[in-house]
Structure 1
Amino acid sequence: MRQSHAVQRNTASPLGNIQLQDRVLAWVTQAMDVVVPQWPLPVFVARHPWMHLEHMSFADALSLLEDMQDVQLRPALSVIQSAVERGDIALPIFEQRLRAWVDEHVPPSLTARLEPVLRALIWEEESESAVPEYVWAFANEVVAAGEAPLSSRKVVVHSNESGHVRSRLAQQTIKWCKLFLDAGQAGWRLPGTQDGLYKAWRHLILRDPALTRTERRRLADWPTDSVEAIAFAIKMLALEEHEAVAYLRAHLAALPGWVGMLSWRGREEGCEIELVVDYLALRVSLEWALYGLTGADAAITVNDDVTKDVALSLAALHRYGGMTRSSWRNVPISTRTELLAIVDRFRRVERWQLWLEAWEDTQAQRMAAACKVPTDEPAEAVAAQLLFCIDVRSEPFRRNLEASGPFATYGCAGFFNLPIKTRHLDCSYAHPSCPAIVTPTVELRESLVEPSLIAYRRRQSGIRLIGDVFKKVKQHALASLVLPELSGPWFALYSFARTLAPSLAGGALERWKSKQVAANTELVLDKGQDDGGTGEIPLGFTVTQMAEIAGGLLRTIGLTEFAPLVVVCGHESLTANNAHAAALDCGACGGAAGRWNARVFAAICNRRDVRGEIVKRFGVSIPDDTVFIAAEHVTTTDELVWLDRPELQGATREAWKLLQAAAKRAQWLTATERIQQLPDVEPVRHPVRSATRRARDWSEVRPEWGLADNRAFIVGRRSLTKGTYWGGRVFLHSYDWRLDPDGSLLASIVAGPVTVAHWINLQYYASTVAPDVYGSGSKTTQTVTSGLGVMQGNGSDLLAGLPWQSVAVDDGAIYHAPLRLWVVIEAPDTAIEQLLAIDHAFCRKVEGGWLRLASIDPLTGQWRDWSVGTSRELAETQAR
């Protein structure tokens, strides 16, 4: 039925040898737009899976990837149907979208013929097996006659055994990537890694027993330089320039996880492009060895799925439009091509895009109606003010805390404007405690307050020694045989305790660990104060830098009048046996807990010299009796943990006591909400206890929902959103447009927090619509490999996204609504116009449909939708 369209090539290169080699790096750079760096598990942070494709529209970029990877990247029909049944998609809004699309893309002369076909396709789940045999024959005739509209397809080497060879190619590539990238997990390290992936592979491949003698012989005279190897393969295939890019892009898209990890490693070492070139050289070399082709009989598969697409489109025209072979012959050739082009585009792309946009329109209208009219009334006196991360999990806790007492909360990026690396006491690694888009400029360290360094280091050395001995014995050929006999009873006892009594056993383990690593430390903040060695970046801040950081953040969020107590709340997650634990911690702090940043920011704001500098630079005066203290919001249990609490007196002490009691009430209320949102959880009497048990239970695949179901990012004063139930779906960033006459504060919010939230949103989106390609599959079948990431089994791609349990209720129902981020800004229209004119990257996101933008004018209360092609109904919605 289906035909493969192989194009025979001669071996004449379109470019000379020297010129071809010079072009390889440019082609690789261009092909890298389908992959992005992937952070390893210990620092797993949200990433935009398609960030390099933003020069295209969202719809076109997804279409390119769908064709290349044979995957659907928009919500499936079953997901759409469930949303319609729940009322999440208003059918009148979809009808409005569909009518507008038909008017714009279907010529009036074809409307009567095509509209019934398009309306039928809206609800159709396609199946190749349902296409009659004669339609396949009809499709072959149409393709042969050149009447088929061609869409972009992957370019790969063709072989009669392509399926088997492709599997071996993936297996071999994964094996060598694992060996090269291993982070200390393997017993034997791959030799030659200092020379790069390709040279290490090239040195050993001729001895690899996984290849046949014939395959090894084909590689005997293969180039030893990676660029030359790619150039040689492209020359033998005689590819045109645009085909060469597509060919390399297909190889990168085949294993985007491993390529992403190589890209990340290269960025860390300052040689990103070199490692990706090594990967491509290895892969194309293996491809030639496994396929056994030469230039004389090389063949390229181009547009392999054209016949299938034509057959499905013709089947729709026949079934719903009454199109037969004879009636097809009576239609002019130009009209035939146009009919097929419209149906093909609508069937593959536009119907899914229309459903997505209608879903987003429905949710946007409801959220706009839930927002309140911003007011300029003086703020009420409060006992304490609290700064929270914009993380959607903070929203329910903030709402319940404000309802429990005289408190005001503010939202900002959880790294609190601190571009820092943090180094724990005696630790050899400095962790970037800021978003991935921020480059750390200062390193901060801990020092011991009391002279107990010897005892602390003795405990740490003992722990490391036990771990090192256990690992070496486990990897030893003979000693490993004895290890189960010695350790088995103890591990069995531990396993029984963690399984039968997770709360008690987990709590005891946490207390033991805290005692072993406990040390009374203080932060070294001042530049030049620490003499503990040198690093890549300076140690400590100057007073001017501290004032710029603290004053800039306070003014950005509109905190210029202060209560006696100001609490700086970082956040972390509490989970057991979770490979993706970093994904539940603070993404703004590089996938770590936010306690470091909270402690640093509070300490900075408590310094009198810094406060004086803030007054000079920003005109923000912090009263002498106002005290900043650091805390941490544990998102799994909604507990507020206090850090570095200084001595409190008078009104500050009373405020802290009041806040302690209110935090307990807020914890109970928020935990109740969270427990009710989790699947298969019966009503519980003690929600906090239940949440704590789930956090410590190592068999729990879903201790919390994380940032799932995030939908919107609202920038504005708290009066716009206060008291409204948002269900933990909204990022809330504080901003007062009255303090930002030049728009610079808004620009910084959009360039930083909005961008990171956009990455988070698209990571959850991709993990939901394509879990096998952009997620990481089920937690129950994951394998942690090389200390870097997870695979399904022992031979898959390095999976880049979130586990299925993080976005879905079960195999048949999703929890996360795969919608693009809806950004709402409280600011006059002139401020939005200025923002879009200055921030070209953000403007490109809006115009390309990568996110959606709306604003509410604080002077008139009028809403405006700035997204291209969105429903006009939202623009008419007024805040109520």
Structure 2
Amino acid sequence: MSTESAIRDSIDEAATTVGSLWPIHSFVTANPLAGFEDQPFGEAVEQAATLLGGRGFPSAQTFGTALERGQIDRVILEEELTEAGYADDPETLLDRMADAADAVNGDADTAADHVDKVLTKWLSAFLDEGSAHWSMPNREAGFYTAFRGMAEYDSDIPDEGVVADLPEAPIEVIEAVLKSYPESQWVPIFEEQLAALPGWTRFIKQRAEDEGAWQSTYPISLEGYLAARLALLDAVDANIEPSNDVSNTNPADDLAQAFLRAWEATYREDLVGTVAAQSQSMDDSDTSGRPDAQLVFCIDTRSEVIRRHIEATGDYETHGYAGFFGIPMEYQGYDDDVSVDVCPPILDPQHHIIDCPTDDDTQARHDRRSGMRAAAADVIEILEANAATAYGYVETAGSGYGLSLAARTLVPGRVHDLIDAAAELVPDDHEFCEPLVHHQHTYSGDLSVGLTHEEQVEYAATAFDLMGFKEFSRLVVFTGHASETANNPYDSSLDCGACAGNPGGPSARVLAKVCNDEAVRAELRDRGFDIPEDTIFVAGQHNTTTDEVELFVDDVPESHSDDLDQLRTDLTTARENATTERAEAMGADGSTGVTETERRAADWAETRPEWGLAGNAGFVIGPRELTSGCDLDGRAFLHSYDWSTDPNGDALEAILTGPMVVTQWINAQYYFSTVDNAVYGSGSKVTQNPVGNVGVYQGNGGDLMAGLPLQSLMIADREPYHQPLRLSTVVHAPVERITDILADHEELTEILDNNWLSLTVVDPTQDHRVFHYEESLEWMPVSEQTEAHPEMPNAQAVADD
């Protein structure tokens, strides 16, 4: 193998330890330690601590608070501590854990710090995605070439070493710097250099892999980045020899793992107990009768709250399904300049969907009024980018602008009312546009425009298969979700994660249109989905900040007007109750839930418009009857599934390999952002500075922050609202079926065997017995169930079946 090939292979191997970071305008939650998932959780966080300096477990104070509040069962904790070899009482052990946390890190490498400062300056200039008014020259030639051309003009870069005569090709720079190091050290060297600015390198990796519009116009690669970095390190004579013998781990990590397992087991036992009890009662439940309406929500934990309150208002049936509604598409709205991916990051878009006008008069009214709104937005953008212009504008605009600033600050709730009133004057896209669903036999880039008839049938059938639909109401509502917030760099983190940090309404509209197509419905009936003639499919969008559910019903026939009126009335009631619950969770006092959530949505000084997915800890895969009527406190992802309608296990396989993996990513991001926000999160919003429309700094420069801000996780400075637990998945299905699926998917058994999440099965075919996944496709009957049913098969027997 040539030296060049060996270097490239070493870079690829080193890059596996670096996760991916999406731009903040389309924030995608992902496990920051995704590159370590091939290792047991404890070993992974230990290696990450050495490489990145991050803590991998909650603090002693966090564990202590959970213990005091009963979130950790003392009996379970004592069992875990005894099994781990600890004899002292929990309080003594927590003191020991706190003392161990005071370990001192080594001194910083000042030469490498200087290189970091230089690189972050150039990276922020090169990787800007539309916020800079003066662009870095020669970006279209690629990062390394642009850096090479500008380096001689940067007084912070010494004219020494390789920098004195930079080669044209980045691989030549790397080869020159590595010539005095044996090949066995190349991967460790690259790992440490990629970990030096992990936020930037994660973003570079994702952008290079995504190959989107910005990457195709202004290309960058890890190879080019490393070439620039190694050249700068050579110029300042920094030592790049890997320091693999230096450990930054906490000596009390083993003790912390025991506390964490007990905390997780306490939550899991409660969740599993609820599901198991409901599973037994399902045998005697009466499910006859057609519900007034069926609403399909995203599996997002915030949907659990609104679904519960909707069901309490009347005879409504709700379902959970991934919020992109199974259609991996790239979407371009009517007013949008560019397309966005609206599918999970583990999928590539397969279709290009655009909104096409169908009503000329409404379109003209929209264009006229939205044009004025866009002009105002341009003025605000200019003011934000230029302080001198801002002062002059405010002076010229006088009291009117001052009053608007004061209103935004002092009475944001009234501003929300005014925004709503103004928005009503501008027709929404769905009022005069329809998604172009039917296949156009044309392409946008590599993607076909629209869907073929066969694809439409497959997407609809897959949705109903995965959810276990057996009958259809007069109204079936596919409900996407989006957030509403002001002055928030992290607004996309509150939108639909299944839609890559974008609103889910467009996906809902596409599936509703597909299912209303008579030809599609005819084939669905042939496949066994008995869709009555009077069933109408409707799209909607759940505002997770205010809990308002908007229905897109411009073309619904008059025959269903009474159904819609009743549904709207009940949605209003459900909203009032849901917002009251959520406002209390945010510490609101003295105002109604609707008023408080609307204030938070409009207040440009509000650091916590909503809690997002904070609190997520569980994932239930099964019929809604398993959790209906149960208050899961907005902590569980809920995916509808009926094992009896899935004889081959194909639907369950799709859920385990898709939504379960995505929810584990989400859970891991919330976990690590909570346990070490400085390394894995993004610190306080108060001190953040957005950069390049791609991310945020803390302060005036440095590394891109990779995770969630403190305000999305903490209820006070040192008190987390989010309980940092690994995901507990509970599946209602035959255990043998799940064993077969896991046996076919090594990537699933890997994350389970390595304890990145847990999996428990309630088996309706074995008298609703409970089995917990252990390792290597083996299951352990839960002890309480074993005592009640001594004839239950042992773990190995279950695995062998």
Taking a change above 3 Å as real, the CA distance of residues 436 and 488 of structure 1, as seen in their structure-2 partners, is: farther
In the alignment, what sits opposite 1:866?
773
Candidates 493, 496, 502, aligned match of 1:583? 493
Candidates 23, 33, 36, aligned match of 1:53? 36
* Correspondence list, 1:142-291, <5 A: 163-212=109-158, 215=159, 219-236=163-180, 238-241=181-184, 243-269=185-211, 275-290=221-236
CA distance in 2, matches of 1:663, 1:815: 28
- Please state how far the C-alpha of 1:644 moved relative to its aligned partner: 2.7
Q: What letter is aligned with 1:44?
A: F
Does 2:770 match 1:843?
A: no
Candidates 565, 569, 591, aligned match of 1:661? 569
Q: Is the 8 A contact 1:389 1:413 kept in 2?
A: yes
Q: What letter is aligned with 2:167?
A: P
**Any idea what the Cα deviations from partners look like across 1:240-279, whole Å, max 9, x if unmatched?**
51x3211211111121111121122212327899611111
Partner-residue secondary structure (3-state), 1:538 = strand
* Correspondence list, 1:441-520, <5 A: 441-452=350-361, 456-457=366-367, 482-483=392-393, 485-486=395-396, 491-513=401-423, 515-516=425-426, 518=428, 520=431
Q: What letter is aligned with 1:398?
A: R
Candidates 720, 725, 730, aligned match of 2:631? 725
In the alignment, what sits opposite 1:39?
22
CA distance in 1, matches of 2:189, 2:90: 34
In the alignment, what sits opposite 1:739?
645
Q: Percent same amino acid at aligned positions?
A: 33
* Correspondence list, 1:639-658, <5 A: 639-649=548-558, 652-658=560-566
Taking a change above 3 Å as real, the CA distance of residues 793 and 369 of structure 1, as seen in their structure-2 partners, is: same
- Please state how far the C-alpha of 1:304 moved relative to its aligned partner: 6.2
- Please state how far the C-alpha of 1:514 moved relative to its aligned partner: 5.4
Partner-residue secondary structure (3-state), 2:549 = strand
Q: What letter is aligned with 2:204?
A: L
| Matched pairs, number | 775
- Please state how far the C-alpha of 1:656 moved relative to its aligned partner: 2.8
Does 2:77 match 1:94?
A: yes
- Please state how far the C-alpha of 1:752 moved relative to its aligned partner: 1.5
Does 2:728 match 1:822?
A: yes
Taking a change above 3 Å as real, the CA distance of residues 299 and 458 of structure 1, as seen in their structure-2 partners, is: closer
- Please state how far the C-alpha of 1:551 moved relative to its aligned partner: 1.4
CA distance in 2, matches of 1:644, 1:46: 32
In the alignment, what sits opposite 2:713?
807
Candidates 373, 389, 404, aligned match of 2:278? 373
In the alignment, what sits opposite 1:354?
258
Partner-residue secondary structure (3-state), 2:77 = helix
Q: Is the 8 A contact 1:180 1:197 kept in 2?
A: yes
CA distance in 2, matches of 1:392, 1:82: 24
* Correspondence list, 1:522-533, <5 A: 522-529=433-440
Q: Is the 8 A contact 2:26 2:501 kept in 1?
A: yes
CA distance in 1, matches of 2:394, 2:607: 27
Candidates 398, 407, 420, aligned match of 2:316? 407
Partner-residue secondary structure (3-state), 2:116 = helix
Taking a change above 3 Å as real, the CA distance of residues 566 and 201 of structure 1, as seen in their structure-2 partners, is: same
CA distance in 1, matches of 2:240, 2:528: 70
Q: Is the 8 A contact 1:849 1:867 kept in 2?
A: no
Q: Is the 8 A contact 2:439 2:450 kept in 1?
A: yes
Taking a change above 3 Å as real, the CA distance of residues 677 and 474 of structure 1, as seen in their structure-2 partners, is: closer
Candidates 240, 258, 268, aligned match of 1:364? 268
In the alignment, what sits opposite 1:553?
463
Q: Is the 8 A contact 1:714 1:730 kept in 2?
A: yes
- Please state how far the C-alpha of 1:77 moved relative to its aligned partner: 0.9
Q: Is the 8 A contact 1:365 1:874 kept in 2?
A: no
In the alignment, what sits opposite 2:432?
521
CA distance in 1, matches of 2:566, 2:380: 49
Greater shift, 593-602 or 824-833, is seen at 593-602
Taking a change above 3 Å as real, the CA distance of residues 126 and 621 of structure 1, as seen in their structure-2 partners, is: closer
Q: Is the 8 A contact 2:353 2:435 kept in 1?
A: yes
CA distance in 2, matches of 1:477, 1:209: 27
- Please state how far the C-alpha of 1:708 moved relative to its aligned partner: 0.3
CA distance in 2, matches of 1:423, 1:696: 26
- Please state how far the C-alpha of 1:612 moved relative to its aligned partner: 0.6
In the alignment, what sits opposite 1:302?
243
Candidates 26, 29, 33, aligned match of 2:9? 26
CA distance in 1, matches of 2:240, 2:319: 61
- Please state how far the C-alpha of 1:524 moved relative to its aligned partner: 3.9
Partner-residue secondary structure (3-state), 2:722 = coil
Q: Structure 1-normalised TM-score?
A: 0.82
- Please state how far the C-alpha of 1:177 moved relative to its aligned partner: 0.6
CA distance in 2, matches of 1:588, 1:854: 24
Partner-residue secondary structure (3-state), 1:422 = strand
Partner-residue secondary structure (3-state), 1:179 = helix
Candidates 326, 345, 348, aligned match of 1:439? 348
Does 2:690 match 1:784?
A: yes
CA distance in 2, matches of 1:500, 1:128: 46
Greater shift, 773-782 or 508-517, is seen at 508-517
- Please state how far the C-alpha of 1:868 moved relative to its aligned partner: 3.9
- Please state how far the C-alpha of 1:427 moved relative to its aligned partner: 3.0
Q: Structure 2-normalised TM-score?
A: 0.90
Taking a change above 3 Å as real, the CA distance of residues 303 and 529 of structure 1, as seen in their structure-2 partners, is: closer
Q: What root-mean-square deviation, in Å, do the aligned CA atoms of Structure 1 and Structure 2 show?
A: 3.1
Q: Is the 8 A contact 1:365 1:877 kept in 2?
A: no
Greater shift, 758-767 or 454-463, is seen at 454-463
Does 2:83 match 1:123?
A: no
CA distance in 2, matches of 1:39, 1:563: 39
CA distance in 1, matches of 2:449, 2:139: 32
Q: What letter is aligned with 2:188?
A: A
Does 2:470 match 1:563?
A: no
In the alignment, what sits opposite 1:857?
763
When Rg is computed on C-alpha atoms for both structures, the one with the higher figure is: 1
Does 2:59 match 1:76?
A: yes
CA distance in 2, matches of 1:761, 1:508: 37
In the alignment, what sits opposite 2:307?
398
**Any idea what the Cα deviations from partners look like across 1:548-590, whole Å, max 9, x if unmatched?**
1111101210112112221111111111111111111111122
Candidates 527, 533, 539, aligned match of 1:630? 539
CA distance in 1, matches of 2:422, 2:335: 20
- Please state how far the C-alpha of 1:129 moved relative to its aligned partner: 11
Greater shift, 202-211 or 821-830, is seen at 202-211
- Please state how far the C-alpha of 1:494 moved relative to its aligned partner: 2.2
Taking a change above 3 Å as real, the CA distance of residues 875 and 282 of structure 1, as seen in their structure-2 partners, is: farther
Greater shift, 596-605 or 860-869, is seen at 860-869
- Please state how far the C-alpha of 1:225 moved relative to its aligned partner: 1.9
Q: What letter is aligned with 1:866?
A: Y
In the alignment, what sits opposite 1:157?
none
